[in-house]
Amino acid sequence: MTSKDPFVKINNVTKSFKGLVALDNVSFCVEKAEILGVIGPNGAGKTTLFNLISGFSTPDTGSILFEGKNLTSLKPHQISKLGIARTFQIVKPMKNLNVLENVMMGPLAHSCSLKEAETKAQNILELLGIPDKSLFLSENLSLPEKKRLEVARALATCPKVLLLDEVMAGLRPNEVDRMVSILKEINKQTGLTILLIEHAMRAVMACCHRIVVLNYGKKIAEDTPKEIAKHPEVIRSYLGQDPC
């Protein structure tokens, strides 16, 4: 990586599914230590974008660069090793493991000892407010708890970039506020770069330094939360009259 390379660069990316253009020539950059919101109506292409960044899918054209390295032909485990972690909109815990064991998988994959992995996992569960659930089977958690477990599992891999796909959906307002303050605190303390797909506009506005807006696969805006909230096309296509 040279000093001129953006931390993450999405470069003219297009992805179609049987003629449906899910992402249409999308480009933007993410700076190191930035919290970038990705918003837009259902079907706008947000999850597809995360699938491409994390290697679960490949772009038809264009490229994705991380620290100057082209990710386009890499597999998910190689991208994870480079330091990009993601959550899934449909939560995917390992059902037969308990919560603690689920979170320990990340540190263990990065060759921590069992004891180190356990301590790290416990600290992360504490941070996310579910330490008392550590011995529960993950399938017995409520949906909001499963969402927090997704974040914990991703954080436990010690990523440089964290991709969060609707992790606040289904949370109560006070739980959303708590998640926002956790993410802001982690970002402030560690400089973790976060890409956040979220419909809860209160959270997006409170958390993000900048926001990219997608609509029918096209990027229609990229700006600060304040500017996005009054952007005519964003209001027309997504926010309606009440952005917060």
Per CB under 6 A, residues contacting ligand ADP are 17, 20, 22, 40, 42-48
In the bound state with ligand ADP, the residue whose beta carbon lies nearer, of 101 and 166, is 166
Per CB under 5 A, contacts with Mg ion among 89-118 are 89
Among 47, 138, 193, 237, binds Mg ion (CB under 5 A): 47
Q: How far is the CB of 133 from Mg ion (least distance, A)?
A: 26
Closest C-alpha to 179, from 156, 150, 158, 159: 150
Of 56 and 136, CB closest to ligand ADP? 56
> How large is the angle between the packed helices 143-155 and 114-127, nearest 10 degrees?
130
**Smallest distance from the beta carbon of 70 to ligand ADP, in angstroms?**
22
Strands laid side by side in the 20-30 sheet: 20-30, 8-17, 61-66, 69-70
Residues binding Mg ion: number (CB under 5 A):
3
SS3 (DSSP) at 17:
strand
- Using CA atoms, how far residue 34 sits from 12, 37, 140, 218, 228, in Å, is 21, 10, 34, 22, 17
**Candidate ranges 24-32, 44-52, 60-68, 99-107; the one touching Mg ion (CB under 5 A):** 44-52
Q: How far is the CB of 238 from ligand ADP (least distance, A)?
A: 11
Instruction: With beta carbons less than 8 A apart as the criterion, state whether 73 and 58 touch.
Output: yes
Nearer to Mg ion, 145 or 166 (CB): 166
CB of 144 to Mg ion, least distance (A): 18
Closest to ligand ADP by CB, 42 or 174: 42
Shortest gap between Cβ of 172 and ligand ADP (angstroms)?
A: 23
CB nearer Mg ion, residue 39 or residue 205? 39
Which segments of the chain does DSSP mark as H helices, in order?
46-53, 76-82, 99-109, 114-127, 143-155, 173-190, 201-207, 225-228, 232-234
Would you count residue 138 as binding Mg ion (CB under 5 A)?
no
Amino acid sitting at position 234: V
* Residues lying near Mg ion in the complex (CB under 5 A): 46-47, 89
